[in-house]
Amino acid sequence: MLDKNSGLVIPEHVGIIMDGNGRWAKKRGLPRSIGHQFGAKNFRKVTRYISKTGVKYLTLYAFSTENWKRPFEEVNALMGIFKQYLIDSLTDFKDDDIKIVYIGDRNGFDPALKKLIDESEENAKDRQGMQLNIAMNYGSRDEILRSVKMLAKDVRDGRIDPDSITEEDISSRLYTGGIPDPDLIIRTGGEFRLSNFMLYQSAYSEFYSTEVLWPDFHEEQFDEAIRVFNQRSRRFGGV
């Protein structure tokens, strides 16, 4: 098990694209919804483990703005799992001292779900451990557009000079404003694309892809990602 004394550099911020629930279920002759249920169980286990390694921020890509295009039955099952998680989250991760924050467009959810999101965040706001960002109804292009619109409004209202706009002005208006960009982005399921996940924030993130499907991604797979991360030379555009 990795820990703060492992001798390895532990990323401050890790993002994970949790991919492969549907394929995991299909390989077993099960409905895709069952794959999502197993994925949700694994999410709790992996989150608890990562919180003990020294990672300060963990962002999990749970449901994208494009996922609404999936079959109604699958989306409905995902919303049911999310609702149950929100109910459980009022006590979930309490003993682990994990702070929970939801990023994404909440307007896409029904009022009852939005209320549960607010209650979940309020319940965990004073926790001092790792911050868990759950990206729900999240799309990075939409996030960037939202940031630009906020800047445009500030320019229109005379609160900011357009010639003085900085990268920080943009990043501070993203859902992840105020936290460091991800050092490492992990994608399960074998794909090599970001799929509209933290496009602005990942300019210099290291990327790690594994063939392992999300329900089978456990402590040893995360440890391997950290070992590979430690073999990278991060120059941030320099020599």
Within-domain flag for 6: no
Please indicate, yes or no, if residue 195 is contained in any of the structural domains. Answer: yes
CATH code at 137? 3.40.1180.10
- Tell whether 96 is covered by a domain: yes
Catalytic positions are 19, 67
Cα angle 23, 67, 84 (rounded to 5 degrees) comes to 85
Q: pTM above 0.85?
A: yes
Q: What is the pLDDT along the chain (239 residues), one digit of tens a residue?
A: 776 667 899 999 999 999 999 999 999 999 999 999 999 999 999 999 999 999 999 999 999 999 999 998 899 888 988 888 888 877 788 888 999 999 999 988 989 889 999 999 999 999 999 999 999 999 999 999 999 999 999 999 999 999 999 999 999 999 999 999 999 999 999 999 999 999 999 999 999 999 999 999 999 999 999 999 999 988 877 65
Other beta carbons less than 10 A from residue 165's beta carbon: 13
What separation in angstroms does the CA of 97 have from each of 6, 46, 121?
A: 22, 15, 13
The amino acid that residue 183 corresponds to is D
**Tokens at residue 158, please?**
């005379």
Q: Note down the domain range covering 115.
A: 13-231
Which residue(s) pair with 60 in the sheet?
16, 134
